[in-house]
Chains A and B, each alone.
Chain A
Amino acid sequence: MSKIRIVHYINQFFAGIGGEEKADIRPELREGIVGPGAALNAQFKGEAEIVATIICGDSYFNENVEEAKAEIMDMVKKYNPDLFIAGPAFNAGRYGVACGTICKAVKESLNIPVVTAMYIENPGADMYKKDLYIMETGNSAAAMRTAAPALAKLALKLAKGEEIGAPYAEGYISRGVRKNIFREERGSKRAVDMLMKKLKGEEFVTEYPMPDFDNVAPNPAVKDMSKAKVALVTSGGIVPKGNPDHIESSSASKYGKYDIADFNDLTEATHETAHGGYDPVYANADSDRVLPVDVLRDIEKEGVIGELHRYFYTTTGNGTSVANSKAFAAKFSQELVADGVDAVILTST
Chain B
Amino acid sequence: MDLENQNRVKNMTEKFGGENIIVLLGAAEAEAAGLAAETVTNGDPTYAGSLAGVQLGLKVYHAVEPEFKEAVDADVYDEQIGMMEMVLDVDSIAAEMSSIREQFCKY
A16 touches B50 (CB 8 A): yes
Q: CB of A326 within 8 A of chain B? A: no
Check A142/B46 contact, CB under 8 A, given A16-B3, A18-B3, A19-B3. yes
What does the 1/0 interface line of B36-61 toward A look like (CB < 8 Å)?
00000000011111101100000000
Q: Which residue of B lies closest to A90 (CB)?
A: B46
Tell me, in angstroms, the Cα distance from A36 to B49 when the chains sit together. Answer: 10
Contacts A16-B3, A19-B3 given; does A38 touch B52 at CB 8 Å: yes
Cα of A14 to Cα of B6 in the assembled complex, Å: 13
A144 within 8 A of B: yes
Asked if A4 is at the interface (CB within 8 A of a chain B CB), the reply is: no
8 A Cβ contacts from A25-40 to B: 35-39
Q: A142-B31, A142-B35 are in contact. Are A16 and B52 (CB under 8 A)?
A: yes
Contacts of B3 in A (CB 8 A): 13, 16, 18-19
Asked whether A36 lies within 8 Å of B35 as measured between CB atoms, the reply is no
Q: Do A13 and B45 touch (CB < 8 A)?
A: no
CB-CB under 8 A from B50, the residues of chain A are 16
B2's closest neighbor in chain A, by CB?
A: A19
Per the bound structure, the CA–CA distance linking A237 and B82 in Å amounts to: 67
Cβ-closest chain A residue relative to B31: A142
Give the CA-CA distance A37 to B52 in the complex, in Å.
Answer: 10
User: Which of B2, B45, B48 makes the CB contact (< 8 A) with A14?
Assistant: B48
A309 to nearest B CB, angstroms? 51
Give Cα distance in the complex from A39 to B45, angstroms.
Answer: 9
Chain A positions within 8 Å of B49 at CB level = 16
Q: Is A166 an interface residue (CB 8 A)?
A: no
Query: Contact: B31 with A36, CB < 8 Å?
Result: no
Expressed in whole angstroms, the Cα–Cα distance for A148 and B48 within the complex equals 13
> Within the complex, which residue of A15, A19, A37, A142 is in contact with B45, where a contact is CB–CB below 8 Å?
A142
Bound together, the chains give a CA A144 to CA B47 distance in angstroms of 8
| A164 at the B interface (CB under 8 A) | no
Grouping DSSP codes into helix (H, G, I), strand (E, B) and loop, the B interface class, with mixed when no group exceeds half, is loop
With contacts A18-B3, A142-B35 known, is A13 near B47, CB below 8 A?
no
Bound complex: CA A132 to CA B18 (Å): 45
Structural contact, A36 and B48, CB atoms closer than 8 A:
yes
Other-chain residue from B2, B31, B47 in contact with A35 (beta carbon distance below 8 A): B47
Q: How far is the CB of A266 from chain B (nearest CB, A)?
A: 60
Closest Cβ of chain B to A50, distance in Å, is 12
CA of A141 to CA of B39, assembled, Å: 12
In the bound complex, how far is the Cα of B48 from the Cα of A15, in angstroms?
Answer: 6
> Chain B contacts of A141 at CB under 8 A?
45-48
Query: Is there contact, CB below 8 Å, between B48 and A39?
Result: no
Assembly CA distance A20 to B52 (angstroms): 20
Q: Kindly identify which residue among B2, B31, B45 contacts A144, using a CB–CB cutoff of 8 Å.
A: B45
Please judge, given known A-B contacts A16-B3, A18-B3, A142-B31, whether A35 and B52 are in contact too, CB under 8 Å.
yes
Counting chain A CB atoms within 10 Å of each CB, which of B3, B52, B53 scores highest? B52
**Bound Cα distance from A191 to B2, whole angstroms:** 52
Q: Which of A141-174 contact B (CB under 8 A)?
A: 141-142, 144-145, 148
Of residues 13 through 70 on chain A, the ones whose CB sits less than 8 Å from some CB of chain B are 13-16, 18-19, 35-39
Residues of B within 8 A of A142 (CB): 31, 35, 45-46
Cβ distance A199 to chain B, nearest Cβ, rounded Å: 39
Residues of B within 8 A of A39 (CB): 47, 52
A16: chain B residues at CB < 8 Å are 3, 48-50, 52
The interface centre, meaning the residue of A16, A19, A36 with most chain B CB atoms within 10 A of its CB, is A16
CB distance from A38 to the nearest CB of B (A): 5
Could you show 6 A-B contacts with beta carbons less than 8 Å apart? A13-B48, A15-B48, A35-B48, A36-B48, A38-B52, A142-B35
By Cβ-Cβ distance, the 5 closest A-B pairs, closest first, are A141-B46, A36-B47, A14-B48, A38-B53, A35-B47
Could you list 19 further interchain pairs (A-B, Cβ under 8 angstroms) beyond the known A16-B49, A19-B2, A37-B47?
Answer: A13-B3, A16-B3, A16-B48, A16-B52, A19-B3, A35-B48, A36-B46, A36-B47, A36-B48, A36-B52, A38-B47, A38-B52, A141-B47, A141-B48, A142-B35, A144-B45, A144-B46, A145-B45, A148-B47
